[in-house]
Structure 1
């Protein structure tokens, strides 16, 4: 088994502060949580939870938070988030894939490599044709 690099996580849906999974999975396990964005991606309603779809060459920004785990919590947190997102490496049944992508810190505009759970290819294809786009790119204000 290959070890994953210890990257921060870019969360854009139910793991953001104030959303239902934040306290259950992240409270007490992080060193930092800061606003960030991912450019070149679109946000779709799941419903009940969102999916990000990469869109190279297309305008789109997804807003979320960059979460840095406490070192002693990292392995358990990574495993918990993989379970939450029902992600297993190389499993064709995945709804999400965990990919390393560059996201941008809102505070200073620096780019940071982070784990992002994105729609698996089959899910992304369905969303592109029949999905409900969240035009703002921000799950927290989707209803507003």
Structure 2
């Protein structure tokens, strides 16, 4: 028998319950309930001087509940031409219709507010939407109509989709603007759903 055909025998005891290699290195499995393991970068490529350039663009997640939803008056101007995907989702809060302005406002609360979770490829999308929401980063909160913040988002079955950006209005501002509470947690520009 040739020496290279001899199978070596191991004297090291084998673990009867081996863990995947990633765990053996101290890494932990992503927790889907906390939204971990989701893609936060989207690969894309383009040609430049005959070269194909591959980049990883950061994805921006934005939850919307009013005029930015597909089919509403601001969707085409602010979202329609930007590469994105979206899904139905909800967030904890309290939804109001502002009759003088003709759009809704979300305040902190413990009711389900229905909306759309966008996944944008364009990292500049927030800079384009901030002026619509009368929000300027770094400006005093009482000068902004809305505050942009990160908040947990859920799919229709209640599973976590992680955190996303969302525009929230202070309750005292909503009351001063004559806000009408929407117990359904849904708003449509064709007529609010109370």
The alignment's TM-score, normalised by the length of structure 1, stands at 0.80
Question: 1:6 and 1:94, CA in 2 relative to 1: closer, same or farther beyond 3 A?
Answer: farther
- CA displacement 1:111-138 (0-9 Å, x = unmatched): 320000000x3xx224358521011110
- For the Cα contact (< 8 Å) 1:35–1:107, is it kept in 2? no
- For the Cα contact (< 8 Å) 1:105–1:112, is it kept in 2? no
Q: Does 1:46 align with 2:98?
A: yes
Deviation above 3 Å: which 4+ runs of structure 1? none
Q: More helix by proportion, 1 or 2?
A: 1
- CA displacement 1:64-104 (0-9 Å, x = unmatched): 0000111xx221x1111111111012323101000000011
Aligned pairs for 1:2-13 (under 5 A) are 7-13=60-66
Q: Does 1:25 align with 2:78?
A: yes
Q: For structure 1, which runs of at least 5 residues remain unmatched after alignment?
A: none
- Deviation of residue 142 (structure 1)? 2.2
- Report what 1:37 is aligned to: 90
Q: Does 1:74 align with 2:123?
A: yes
Q: Does 1:127 align with 2:174?
A: yes
- Deviation of residue 29 (structure 1)? 1.1
Which of 76, 84, 88 matches 2:136? 88
Matched positions, count: 130
- Report what 2:159 is aligned to: 109
Q: RCO greater where, 1 or 2, for CA within 8 Å and sep 6 or more?
A: 1
> Secondary structure of 1:86's partner?
coil
The alignment's TM-score, normalised by the length of structure 2, stands at 0.60
> Secondary structure of 1:35's partner?
strand
> Over aligned residues, Cα RMSD in angstroms?
2.2
Question: 1:37 and 1:29, CA in 2 relative to 1: closer, same or farther beyond 3 A?
Answer: same
